[in-house]
């Protein structure tokens, strides 16, 4: 209401300046005119509110229906999807090596008939085994983030009106 009074006073001051009338008198008349205009606007707004408000009915005639819809709660749960077993396996394979060996051979040529004993020697292959590190395997787990699209059907209640006979129904949205 005060804003209309101020606007009226400004308009009254402008009128006083244009028509060369007393400025004090014009401010007072403008303020009074602003109050009257403000009062008329408020009365008009109140009548519009009354026409828009829902009709007043007795409490037992007004009924409400709640409409609901499903909403999704999305959570993540850690589940075991499998297990990996890492172990060493002994695999046997045949290896063939060629190793040069030496041996002694006795050569007898005719000559004196004396008996001689000469020891003969030869090399034999002796194999021994021992483990040697030839490789190393690192075992680690790493976190990988992927985007997964999830689709789910949800239910939603909607109000429907079925008219039987000659019922008078006014639908407001």
Q: For residues 67 and 155, is the Cβ–Cβ distance under 8 A? A: no
Q: Is the pLDDT of residue 41 over 80?
A: no
Check pLDDT > 70 for residue 56.
no
Of residues 139 and 46, more confidence is placed in 139
- The dihedral sign for the CA sequence 39, 45, 50, 51: positive
- Rounded to the nearest angstrom, the gap between the alpha carbon of residue 126 and the centroid of all alpha carbons in its chain is 69
Closest CA to 153 of 66, 58, 71: 71
**Cβ-proximal residues to 125 (8 Å cutoff; 6+ apart), any chain:** 99, 101
Would you say residue 155 has pLDDT above 70?
yes
* Percentage of the chain exceeding pLDDT 90: 42
Is 37 a residue whose pLDDT tops 90?
Answer: no
- What b/e sequence results for 69-100 when a residue is b if at least 16 CB atoms lie within 10 Å of its CB, and e otherwise? eeeeeeeeeeeeeeeeeeeeeeeeeeeeeeee
pLDDT at 54 over 60: no
Per-residue model confidence (pLDDT) at position 101:
94
Checking if the pLDDT of 47 tops 80, the result is no
Query: Residue holding tokens 């019922």?
Result: 167
Phi-psi region of 20 (alpha: psi -120 to 50; beta: other; left: phi over 0): left
Q: Is 135 helix (H, G, I), strand (E, B) or coil?
A: coil
Question: What's the mean pLDDT in 146-156?
Answer: 92
pLDDT band at 59 (very low <50, low <70, confident <90, very high): low
Specify the pLDDT at position 36.
Answer: 80
Residue 131 CB partners (closer than 8 Å, separation 6+): none
More confident residue, 94 or 20: 94
| Residue 85: predicted pLDDT | 93
**From 29-38, 50-59, 104-113, 130-139, the region with the lowest mean pLDDT:** 50-59
pLDDT at 29: 75
The pTM of this model reads: 0.36
Average pLDDT score, the chain: 82
Name which residue leads in pLDDT, 32 or 5. 32
């Amino acid at each position: 209401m005060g804003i209309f009074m101020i606007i009226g006073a400004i308009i009254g001051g402008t009128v006083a300046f244009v028509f060369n009338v007393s400025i004090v008198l014009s401010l007072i008349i403008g303020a009074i005119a602003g109050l009257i205009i403000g009062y008329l606007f408020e009365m008009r707004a109140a009548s519009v509110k009354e026409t828009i408000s829902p009709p007043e009915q007795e409490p037992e005639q007004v009924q409400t229906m709640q409409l609901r819809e499903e909403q999704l709660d999305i959570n993540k749960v850690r589940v075991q999807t499998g297990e990996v077993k890492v172990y060493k396996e002994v695999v046997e394979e045949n290896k063939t090596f060629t190793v040069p060996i030496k041996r002694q051979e006795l050569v007898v040529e005719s000559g004196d008939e004396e008996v001689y004993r000469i020891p003969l020697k030869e090399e034999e292959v002796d194999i021994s085994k021992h483990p040697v590190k030839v490789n190393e395997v690192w075992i680690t787990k790493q976190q990988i983030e992927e985007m997964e699209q999830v689709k789910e059907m949800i239910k939603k209640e909607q109000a429907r009106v079925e008219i039987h006979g000659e019922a008078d129904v006014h639908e407001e949205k």
